[in-house]
Amino acid sequence: IWAIIIPFIWIGAYMVFGGINSIARAYQIIFPISFFILILCYVLSIRIFDVNHLRPVLSEGLMPVIRGLKSTVLVFTGCEVVMVITAFMQHPEHAIKAMLTGIAIPMILYILTVVMVIGGLSIDSVITSTWPTIDLVRSLEITGFFFERFEFPLLVIWMMQMFCIFSSFYFNAALGISQVFKIRLVPVIFGLMPVIFITAMIPVRINDVFAVGDVIGRMGILLFFLLSVLLSVVLIIRKKVLKQNV
């Protein structure tokens, strides 16, 4: 696994050296490719989609749905990235609109994914599967097409998306440490590399990975709300009490 992690970290560090512009350019390239492949997989899965697999809807009420939300927390962590990106925006007044749009797109895609996966595989198969979306794509096979099995392009874009997420957090961490402790950015980037590698090597089994993911998800949501509340309080004090133009 280290043979994958080390190049991943080095390439991510190389992109972080380029700053926010390099990361944004990578996003502009990867997003349309990912979106196209996902939509293509959804369209092809219509052939095995059975609406009866989705029934009955909310047969046990809302509480099972609410309890199940904790497993999806990790998906929406990282919203605090917007707080850093806002400082680099040419029009920061559009930050709220951009953030809501950025959250809405994955939310719609994830809802669509859940519907298509359950409709294609049935709830019993989804419960016993570790990666149900990949299992759904594996069931798709088009003879004579460029990709007869679609799990390969899906896994490729999945890795690309993970690389983008990693680069964003890497940049945020390096920039934050650099500005808080008044250290040059380059030594911070190099200093974080062994920390990231050691942290990535701690989980041994797949259950350990899921456990770490749950912890990161809870911490991310907690920090996001704490930062939002604290920054909102600071903004109110500066505008209402100190009468500062911010």
pLDDT of 95 > 70? The answer is yes
Per-residue pLDDT tens digits for 204-231: 887 888 788 777 777 777 777 777 778 7
Phi then psi for residue 184, to 5 deg, are -60, 150
pLDDT value for 136: 81
pLDDT value for 205: 84
Six token digits for residue 86: 């806002």
pLDDT of 145 > 80? The answer is no
Q: What is the mean pLDDT of residues 44-69?
A: 77
Question: What residue ranges do the domains of the chain occupy?
Answer: 2-201, 208-246
pLDDT of 245 > 70? The answer is no
The fraction of the chain above a pLDDT of 90, given in percent, is 4
Within 10 A of 122 (CB to CB), how many other CB atoms are there? 14
pLDDT of 66 > 80? The answer is no
The fraction of the chain above a pLDDT of 70, given in percent, is 91
* Alpha-carbon 94 to chain mean position: 22
Q: Do the Cβ atoms of 190 and 14 come closer than 8 Å?
A: no
Per-residue pLDDT tens digits for 12-29: 899 888 888 888 888 888
**What b/e sequence results for 105-120 when a residue is b if at least 16 CB atoms lie within 10 Å of its CB, and e otherwise?**
eeeeeeeebeebbbbb
Task: Say which residue the tokens 């009866």 belong to.
Answer: 52
Q: What is the mean pLDDT of residues 66-78?
A: 70
Global pTM value: 0.79
Region for residue 142 given its phi and psi (left: phi exceeds 0; alpha: psi -120 to 50; beta: otherwise)? beta
H helix or E strand, kind and range, residue 214: helix 206-236
Confidence band for 151, pLDDT divided at 50, 70 and 90:
confident
pLDDT value for 73: 67
Which span out of 10-14, 99-103, 133-137 was modeled with the highest average pLDDT?
Answer: 10-14
Q: Do the Cβ atoms of 206 and 130 come closer than 8 Å?
A: yes
Q: What is the mean pLDDT of residues 179-185?
A: 88
